[in-house]
Every structure is written in C-alpha cells, then in structure tokens.
Structure 1
Amino acid sequence: MARAYDGLDDDELDAEPETPWKMLLPMIINALMSIGVYLTTVRLIPKLRDKFIKANLFGIDMSKTTQDKVPEAIGVVCGCMFLITMFLFIPIPFSDTLTGGQFPHHEFVELIAALLSICCMLLLGFADDVLDLRWRHKLLLPTVASLPLLMVYYVNYNSTTIVVPKPFREYLGMTVNLGILYYVYMGMLAVFCTNAINILAGVNGLEVGQSIVIAASILLFNFVEVDAKTWTHQMSIYFMMPYIATSAALLKHNWYPSKVFVGDTFCYLSGMTFAVVGILGHFSKTTLLFFIPQVFNFLYSVPQLFHLVPCPRHRLPKFNSKTDKLEMSCTRFNVRDVGCVGRMILYLFRAFGLIKWHAKGDEVITNNFTLINLVLKLKGPTHEAKLTSILIGIQIACTCLAFAIRYPLAHHFYD
C-alpha cells in the first residue's frame, strides 16, 4: 500500500540510512566515469563532423559572414555517450546486493524507467532533427516518452497528495489529493522542460550553456539533500555528473564560433533528463525554480507561440555583417489583424517597456517576443559571444534566486 507524501514538494518516503562509504563509493565511480566520457566525447565529436555533413545533416550559421556547412544534430552524439555511460554504471549502485542480500527492485526499476524515457526522447528528438516535425508533434513527443516514467511512479508510489502552503490551509486544509491531475502535471512538466530549452535558443552555446547551469544547480541541490534523503537524491547525482560531462564536451565545440549545432535532439535530451530526476526525485517544484529564465521566456513568447500576435517562422536575432554584432529581430503587422486579447497584451508589454514599438498608421513594427531579443533591446547591438555570456549570467543569477526561494523563503510557506 502506497504511503502518502507530498509529490509536488520535496518530501520523500523514509529510507533506511546508508553508511557513508556505501553512498560515497558509487558517486566516486560515477565521477571517474564522467571524466572518462568527457575526454572521449570531446575527441569523438570532431571525428564525426564530416559524417554528419555527408549525410546532409548540416546547416548554415545565419549569424556569420561565412557560409560554411556546420553539422547539425550533434546532440545525438552527446546523448549516446551519456546513455552508454549510464548503461555501464547500472550494476554499480546495486553491487552489494548482486552477490547476496535483498535486491532493491523498486530502485532498480526507477533507474531503468528513467533511462528508457531519456532513450525514447533521444530517438524522438533525432527524428525531429531529420524530419523537421511540426509544433504539435513537438508537444506530443515528450508526453509519449514520459509514459514509462509515469507508469513506474504509479506502481511504486501512486501518491498524489500534496501539502497545501500555509496561507491557503484555512480554506483547503493541510493536504489535497490531486488524483489524476497530478499525473497530468508530471506529463506537462516533461513537455515544458523539453520545449522550454528549445525555444530559448538561436545563438552559439546558449542551449548547452543554460542546460549545464541547470544541471549543476540540480547537482548542487542533491548534494545538499543527500544526507537526509538516500536513494532518490543519489540517483539524481548519478544522472547529473555524466550529463554535465558530455554536455561540457559538446559546449567546447558549440561555443562561438560554433563548429557544430546541437539540434533539437540535445534540447529534448536535456529537458527529459531534468524532468526524470525531478519526478523520481520528488523535487519537481525545485526543478522548476531552476527554470526561471525559461519560464519567463515562455510566458513572454506566449502571444507569438499561440498566434495572438503575428509570429514569423524564425525569431532569431538579426546579424549585422558591418558591425559583426547581433540586433533584435522584428516583426511587422497590421494592428487591425490582432484580436482583443492580442491588443491587450501589446498594451501591457508597451507599458512595461518589454517591446520596441514603432507605429505608422495601422502598421506596427515590434521586436520578436524572446528573452534574447529583450536583452538586445535593453543593451543594444551585442557580439554573439558576449550575448551568450550575458544570457548564461542571467541563468546563474536566477539559480541563486532559486536557492534563496528554496531554503530561506520556503519556511514561510511550508513547515
């Protein structure tokens, strides 16, 4: 019978305390394997570069004066090396029970299901890079890939009770059982994580850079919590160290001037990895705290994503070849073609200075609604490498804010 706990918060099932060495040895082995996979991946990517170009998996960097072919979807190399490392690591956490003792089937199934979901997402992401799927398919793919994860959660826990924040307990009580809505929430978390990284992209190194900061934040959080909570936080650490290692190898080649493009494959792989550790680790709200820039970028992009305001096919910043700098990209439309909701959003964005506004009669020119263009609006034309550094700096600053919310401020809402 499943014991109730707060799935949306960071409460977990009580686990038998482990000896420090039993906890530490698999982490040391995982760290050593991570170093090894970094050294392997950083050498493997240049060797596969020509093979991707030969297979017509390449693109042209629109923010450069050169028209060189840049291999696309190299994130699949990073993802494969990450999965290979995790497959080889599978026996390590359970080595003491393989020769005797009670085998922890629940923990083993969670690890396998997590790898299955990530593997599915890697496959589907690569299919998107090759077939250029439509947006409705991009929303469906993470949902399908998360099903093994949700099934294991149902079998192992099936707890959908959440603790109500203090200000609302007078009206809702101490706890609320969300039932099926909790599984809907977890499925939506997987969809959001994969697509949030994908829509905050377009400059060299940004997708990988923001993902490494998020992964490092999750890793640090789990190191802080691992003394009090055992298996779930250990498993998160096992996933994050090889992920950071392979991503760092990819970033070395994707940083300005980029020699490879990561593709949607890497964005999907990253988002599903973060969703997996957040769901199985029972710290999904904390995981979302590390996505503050992505949440803002999504909310800022909603008017164009849902076509409340006209949205061009590409919203990348505009490259000025004369100055070698990026400028905010703009969209032109007739204000009469925008509905009432769209006009209200435009008014609010103008009032808060979130968009450039140039009107001539009924024709309006505004910047595209992305965090990248907003930074360019506030700062002005910026070199691509510096722009990426600024955006990653914003990610790091938001991580510090997330930790402040998670620890000092959380006590005002939860016991």
Structure 2
Amino acid sequence: MEDREVLSKMNYPIYANVLMSVVSYFLTVRLIPKFRDMFIKGNLYGIDMNKKDGGKVPEALGVVTGCVFLITMFLFIPVPFTDYIFKNADFPHNEFVEMLAALLSICCMLLLGFADDVLDLRWRHKLLLPTIASLPLLMVYYVNFNSTLIIVPKPLRPWFGLSVDLWLLYYVYMGMLAVFCTNAINILAGVNGLEVGQSLVIAASISIFNLVELSGNVWKAHQFSLYFMLPYMATSLALFKHNWYPSQVFVGDTFCYLSGMTFAVVGILGHFSKTILLFFIPQIINFLYSIPQLFHLVPCPRHRLPRYNKETDKLDISVTVFKKSELNVLAKLCLWVFRTLKIVSWKEDKTGLVTCNNLTLINFILYMIGPTSEPSLTIILILIQIMSSVLAFMIRYPLASVFYDI
C-alpha cells in the first residue's frame, strides 16, 4: 500500500506536466506564425541561401518557444509541492531552490541568445556567457550536494583506487559542460530543421533514460529532469513543424543556447552530467573535426554551411582556400591526419594553393555521399543522431557493467 502511495505521488506531477506540455505545443504552433511578420518588420530576418528564391525568413523564433517553455515551467512550479503545502508538511526548500536556479540559468541563456541574434556577439562572448549563466547551477549543486567523487573503471583501480575526488575540477567540468552544450548545437547547423531535429532526439533520449531510471534510488533527480524535458520537447516540436524544409522560420542562436542550457541543467542537477555527454556523440565528433577552423589554425569563413547548386537544386560541400606554406606546424599535423584518414576533400595546385572542404560534419557527410537535397541531408543527420543515441544506451548499460559494479 505504501509503495502505491509513493508511486502515485511520484506520477501525479508528471501527469500534470504532460497535460501542460500538450497545451504549450498547440499554443506555440499558433503563436509562431503570428510573430513572423513582426520579426521581419523589426529587421530580424535572414536569407535562406539554400533556396532558389532566397526570400526573407524571420530569424530568432527560438525566443517564442523559449518564452512559452519558461511560462509553462513557471506555472508548473507549485505542482510538485502541492502535497507539502496542503498538508503543512516540512517543505523541501532544497528541491524548490534547485528548480528556481535551473529556471534562472535557462532564462539567462534565453536572454543572452536573443542578444546574440540581435547584436551578433563575438565568439569569445559565446564562451563567456554560458559560463556566467551556469553559476547559479553550480552554487546550488555545491550547497545541496557537493559530491565530486567519481567511480574509477575496474581496469584503472589498481592505480587510482575505487574512487577519486576531483573537488574543484569537477565544478570546472560542469561549467565547461554548459559551455559545450550551448555551442555544440550551434555549430552543427546550416540546413532546415537540423538544430531543432538534433535537439529533439537528444531530449527524447534524456527522457527515455529518465523513465528507465525512475525505478532506481535516485528517482527524484530523474523526475526533476522530466519536468523540464517534456515541455521543452513540446515547444520544440511546434518549432520543428515551422522550421522543417522549406523553413518558414529560422530558430537562431536563441534556440541553440536555450536547448544547450536546458540539457546542462538537467544533467547537472539530475546527477547524470557524465551520461548526458553520451547523447552528444555527433556534436562531439563535429567539434573535434572542426577544431582546426574553430581555433583558426585553418582559415574559417563566417558561414560554413553547404554550397547550394541552383541548377541541380542540391547541396554540395563548401570550401575554404589557403596557402599551404602559411599554415603552422599544428595545422599541418591536423590536416595530415585528416588526409591520411581520408576524411577531407583536398585539392592542391602547383603553387601550393589548397582547396579543402569546411570542417563540419555536414560537409563531411556531403563529401562521403555526394550532392544531396536539403531535406534528405537533414534526415540523414537526424538518423545519425538517433543511431548515436542507441549507441549511447549500449555504452551506458551493457558496456558500463563491464567496467563498473552495476
């Protein structure tokens, strides 16, 4: 009987959250078209360079989904605590503060993301802003948990023991996680529906992981994660409907920042900050592949999106051109590795002028399969995200049992 009561208390807020998420989906679907003309009049628009007509498309519509998501979460705040309120029980102030800190960090990134879309901030600001926005999370984590122990894999235990206390390094890691999540989605972009599509797959993967872990000892942490993931997926699905090819709206950096910080929030406060990286496998690959250009070892143009061919109505690799003699030793080493692995298009003339593809996962896929239509390319990239999530679950459960005592 007690188990049933606990299960009922555990499920009630989730049922309420599902209902509110459904409402937020239909509200967002209706709101986005109403804001399109308003954004264009305010000069918040872009030109879709992968279309023949290349008309004006409103930019930064992620702010609409972000606002609906936050309003839904604000209205949801009392729901998990109604039992404590009506029964005058000891109020769980630590859980309440966690939710407020999470919403504060997400709200900060929504504001900063919109500022980036309007003001076009520099890259150094894009690294600094998520770090600042993650500080409330880290403070709450320190006050409520302050657990910085990690379990050492079995093969390494003879040297390091059963566990290692990383102390300050663990907080540095969590801060860097917030920076990575917000920017990783942003740099894997450039075709209609990709930013929202990959984010939806990541959110769905996190939700499945939370549902599996609800029966475990730390079910409250995973329930907390679901509170955020369900309305996030609902509002993002509404945005995906308008952002899918041919895109009626662009999501902007606002959506990428919002998504990344939401994932970082649930990962840090849900106590699975290491597991969440498994759902970012394509983003990690894209980041590693992009390092020579991100760190300006190789010339990096402002836009690295694929090149559109008007005659075939297909996308092909976009390229960067540079003198081989102007590269430093580290750049030459990176490109030599890429060429040896045959993962880069490389053309060099007699004068040492090199033409190679821009170093993104999107261009790499086009390099492997050849010119492709935009919707087909987006589908391929989303399928890669889905297969990566399947791999992540294999690593998290069957493979982890080999290295850890689970």
Q: TM-score range by the shorter chain?
A: over 0.9
Distance in 2 (CA, whole Å) between partners of 1:131 and 1:345 is 33
Counterpart check, 1:126 vs 2:114? yes
Partner in structure 2 of residue 4 of structure 1: none
Partner in structure 1 of residue 12 of structure 2: 25
Give the conservation status (yes or no) of the 8 Å contact 1:110–1:280. yes
Q: CA deviation at 1:183?
A: 0.6
Which residue identity is paired with 2:237? A
Counterpart check, 1:65 vs 2:55? no
For 1:392, which of 378, 382, 390 is the aligned residue?
382
Partner in structure 2 of residue 89 of structure 1: 76
Distance in 1 (CA, whole Å) between partners of 2:126 and 2:19 is 35
Counterpart check, 1:161 vs 2:149? yes
Distance in 1 (CA, whole Å) between partners of 2:321 and 2:384 is 29
Partner in structure 2 of residue 77 of structure 1: 64
Counterpart check, 1:368 vs 2:358? yes
Counterpart check, 1:193 vs 2:181? yes
Counterpart check, 1:44 vs 2:34? no
Partner in structure 2 of residue 311 of structure 1: 300
Distance in 2 (CA, whole Å) between partners of 1:413 and 1:277 is 25
Q: CA deviation at 1:231?
A: 1.4
Partner in structure 2 of residue 137 of structure 1: 125
Give the conservation status (yes or no) of the 8 Å contact 1:110–1:152. yes
Which residue identity is paired with 2:44? L
Q: Which range moved further: 222-231 or 400-409?
A: 222-231
Which residue identity is paired with 2:111? L
Aligned residue pairs total 400
Q: CA deviation at 1:230?
A: 2.3
| Counterpart secondary structure, 1:364 | strand
Q: CA deviation at 1:161?
A: 1.4
Which residue identity is paired with 1:89? F
Q: CA deviation at 1:394?
A: 0.2
Give the conservation status (yes or no) of the 8 Å contact 1:60–1:67. yes
Which whole-Å deviations, capped at 9, do the CAs of 1:10-57 have from their partners, x for residues lacking one? xxxxxx997111111111110011110000000100011101011110
Q: Give the alignment's Cα RMSD to 1 decimal.
A: 1.0
For 2:249, which of 260, 264, 270 is the aligned residue?
260
Q: Which range moved further: 387-396 or 170-179?
A: 170-179
Give the conservation status (yes or no) of the 8 Å contact 1:332–1:366. yes
Which whole-Å deviations, capped at 9, do the CAs of 1:70-121 have from their partners, x for residues lacking one? 1000000000000000000001111000121111111111111100100000
After superposition, residues 249-398 of structure 1 pair within 5 angstroms as 249-361=238-350, 362-398=352-388
Partner in structure 1 of residue 391 of structure 2: 401
Distance in 2 (CA, whole Å) between partners of 1:17 and 1:120 is 39
Which residue identity is paired with 1:200? L
Which residue identity is paired with 2:381? L
Describe the shift of the 1:18–1:411 C-alpha distance in structure 2 as closer, same or farther (beyond 3 A): farther
| Counterpart secondary structure, 1:19 | helix
Which residue identity is paired with 2:346? W
Partner in structure 2 of residue 35 of structure 1: 22
Q: CA deviation at 1:261?
A: 0.3
Give the conservation status (yes or no) of the 8 Å contact 1:18–1:230. no
Partner in structure 2 of residue 224 of structure 1: 212
Distance in 2 (CA, whole Å) between partners of 1:294 and 1:102 is 43
The TM-score normalised by the length of structure 1 is 0.95
Distance in 2 (CA, whole Å) between partners of 1:335 and 1:291 is 33
| Counterpart secondary structure, 2:186 | helix
Which residue identity is paired with 1:140? L
Distance in 1 (CA, whole Å) between partners of 2:311 and 2:201 is 33
Which residue identity is paired with 1:184? V
Which whole-Å deviations, capped at 9, do the CAs of 1:294-322 have from their partners, x for residues lacking one? 00000000011001112112111000000
- Percent identity between the two aligned chains: 68
| Counterpart secondary structure, 2:201 | helix
The TM-score normalised by the length of structure 2 is 0.97
Partner in structure 2 of residue 151 of structure 1: 139
| Counterpart secondary structure, 2:274 | helix
